[in-house]
Copies of this chain bind each other. A is one copy, B any other.
């Protein structure tokens, strides 16, 4: 199996190194062969090639079975014009590889329950899978431009969806719900947006194919509230690109730390791109302080969704739980006795073994 790593910027290289190390240990233990190759993306790609996503990177990803991405962006490239910004590499790779289904699981880990700003009884037991549409909507719609309106300067962005784009994503959500809590909350703004009304129609239609799953519609403003009020009510939360961006970052606060959250971006095949939800944290880049657990958890998702290696995935996730229960903490999770990125990685590897 071929894995392309895309370290990117900031702490990206360090945490991807941790992920690779864990994957290598799994390969050795379980007798698999993982072949690694590396690709450029984000600021690192801009510095080396002038663009945030070189064609060569796309080709490498396409010729592999899965990708592991670190993070992109940093102050160094903040003055670049929009189409030459590191984030553009992220948006472009989603489109180029048709990664339309973004999975962001949010689970409360008992060992970290006190980290959350929410009360323990609200957080404990939360297990939400956010399924976010990732290649459509207002992120990519045209026109997106400055324009003269009524004789003065104005601006336009466009939210566009084809029915098939909405449906394929909803099918994924219902399929995940079938093997989870059998409940889908579809989030939209159907009292205002025409696209949300189509979304709601599609959800109702797709739901008929999954009789064991219950479907609930929720307005996005209410969802933003309910995630804080009673997060345990959610099983699978499915929504369009921008709503998913906002709600998944909000939901990350349930766990108390963005440093723990993995993600998967899937197309219709087994191929997927896996990355931590957090950013490139340029302030601690290269200092061996970053929390590698979100990236390590992403490797578990990689094994599960792209390679079908369920036991191996479980093994990694249990190891993460164990090191946390044993009290190991990186600097983002503690004020005292923080361990380094490398030490945390080693602790996880020791648990795996």
Q: What residues of chain A have their CB less than 8 Å away from a CB belonging to chain B? A: 82, 85, 87, 91, 117-119, 122, 138-139, 141, 144-146, 149-150, 152-164, 189, 191-195, 197-198, 220-222, 224-225, 227-230, 242-243, 245-250, 252-253, 258
Contacts and interface: CB of A to CB of B under 8 A. Distances in A.
Contacts of A157: 138, 158-159, 193-195
Given A118-B118, A228-B250, A250-B250, A162 B156 contact: no
B145 A154 contact: no
Contact of A221 (B194, B225, B229, B245): B245
Contacts of A224: 224, 246-247, 249-250
Q: Which of A153, A155, A225, A258 has the most CB of B within 10 A?
A: A155
A162 B220 CA distance: 25
A92 to B, nearest CB: 12
A152 B163 contact: yes
Contacts of A243: 246
A224 B242 CA distance: 12
19 contacts: A82-B197, A87-B192, A117-B118, A117-B122, A119-B119, A149-B160, A152-B164, A154-B160, A154-B161, A155-B197, A156-B158, A156-B195, A158-B159, A159-B159, A221-B249, A222-B249, A225-B250, A225-B258, A250-B250
